[in-house]
Structure 1
Amino acid sequence: MILNCHVHGLRRAASVAAALALALLGATAATPAQAAANPVTHPRLDWAGSQFAKHVPVHRAGTPLLISPNVSGVLGLDVSGYQGDVNWSAVAADGAQFAYVKATESTTYTNPYFSQQYEGSYDAGIIRGAYHFATPDTSSGAAQADYFVANGGGWSGDGKTLPGMLDLEWNPYGADCYGLSQSAMVDWILSFSDQYESLTGRWPVIYTATSWWSECTGDLGDFSSTNPLALADYNGSPGTMPYAWSYQTIWQYADSGTFPGDQDAFNGSYSRLQSLATG
Structure 2
Amino acid sequence: MPVLRPGFPRPRPLAVLVTALLAALSLALPLGTAQAATHPARGSAHMGMGVLAHDGGGGAPAPALVTQTEGVDVSNYQGNVAWTTLWNSGVRWAYTKATEGTYYTNPSFAQQYNGSYNVGMIRGAYHFATPDTTSGATQANYFVDHGGGWSRDGKTLPGVLDIEWDPYGAACYGKSASGMVSWIADFLNTYKSRTGRDAVIYTATSWWTQCTGNYGGFAAANPLWIARYASDPGTLPAGWSYYTMWQYTSSGPTVGDHDRFNGALDRVQALANG
Query: TM-score, normalized by length of structure 2?
Result: 0.83
What are the superposed Cα offsets for residues 24-60 of structure 1, whole Å, 9 maximum, x if unpaired?
xxxxxxxxxxxxxx99962453111011111012236
Is the aligned partner of 1:51 residue 2:50? yes
From 72, 75, 85, give the equivalent of 1:80.
75
Distance in structure 2 (CA, Å) of the matches to 1:173 and 1:263: 24
State how 1:155-170 maps to structure 2 within 5 Å. Answer: 155-170=150-165
Seen in structure 2, the aligned counterparts of structure 1 residues 69 and 254 have a Cα distance that, compared at 3 Å, is: farther
User: 1:118, 1:129 within 8 Å by CA — same for their partners in 2?
Assistant: yes
The answer (yes or no) to whether the contact 1:80–1:101 under 8 Å persists in 2 is yes
CA–CA distance in structure 2, aligned partners of residues 145 and 44 of structure 1 = 16
**What SS does the aligned partner of 2:84 have?**
helix
Distance 2:74 2:48 in 1: 11
Q: CA RMSD in A?
A: 1.7
Distance 2:254 2:233 in 1: 19
**TM-score (normalised: structure 1):** 0.81
Deviation at 1:68, TM superposition (A): 4.9
Shifted more, 246-255 versus 38-47: the winner is 38-47
Q: Determine if contact 2:199/2:222 at 8 Å carries over to the other structure.
A: yes
SS at match of 1:194: helix
CA distance in 2, matches of 1:245, 1:150: 29
CA contact (8 A) 2:58 2:230 kept: yes
Contact kept in structure 2, 1:104 and 1:151, CA below 8 Å: yes
Alpha-carbon distance in structure 2 between the residues aligned to 1:91 and 1:58: 23
- Partners of 1:176 and 1:246 lie apart in 2 by 25
Deviation of residue 96 (structure 1)?
0.5
Q: 1:272 aligns with which of 241, 249, 267?
A: 267
Equivalent position SS for 1:253: strand
Q: Distance in 2 between matches of 1:106 and 1:220?
A: 23
- Say whether residues 1:184 and 2:176 are aligned partners: no
The equivalent of 2:210 in structure 1 is: 215
Equivalent residue of 2:95, what SS? strand
Asked if 1:172 corresponds to 2:167, the answer is: yes
Residue 261 of structure 1, CA deviation = 3.2
Question: What amino acid maps onto 1:213 in structure 2?
Answer: W
Kept in 1: contact 2:40–2:167 (CA 8 A): no
d(CA) in 2 for partners of 1:87, 1:274:
23
The corresponding residue for 1:63 is: none
Superposition pairs of residues 113-262 of structure 1, within 5 angstroms: 113-262=108-257
Considering Cα pairs closer than 8 Å and 6+ residues apart, tell me whether 1 or 2 has the greater RCO. 1
Change (3 A) 1:250 1:42: same
Rounded to whole Å, the distance in 2 between the matches of 1:56 and 1:152 is 30
The partner residue of 2:91 within 90, 96, 113 is: 96
Deviation at 1:142, TM superposition (A): 0.3
Name the CA distance, whole Å, in 2 between partners of 1:201 and 1:156.
Answer: 10
| CA distance, structure 2, for counterparts of residue 123 and residue 43 of structure 1 | 30
* Unpaired runs of at least 5, structure 1: 1-37, 61-66
Q: Distance in 2 between matches of 1:249 and 1:43?
A: 29
Name 1:70's counterpart in structure 2. 63
Distance 2:84 2:118 in 1: 9
- Asked if structure 2 preserves the Cα contact closer than 8 Å seen for 1:44 and 1:81, the reply is no
With 214-223 and 142-151 compared, the bigger mean Cα shift is at 214-223
Identity of aligned residues (%): 55
Q: Distance in 1 between matches of 2:136 and 2:256?
A: 26
CA shift for structure 1 position 219 = 2.1
**Unmatched tracts of structure 2, length 5 or more:** 1-34
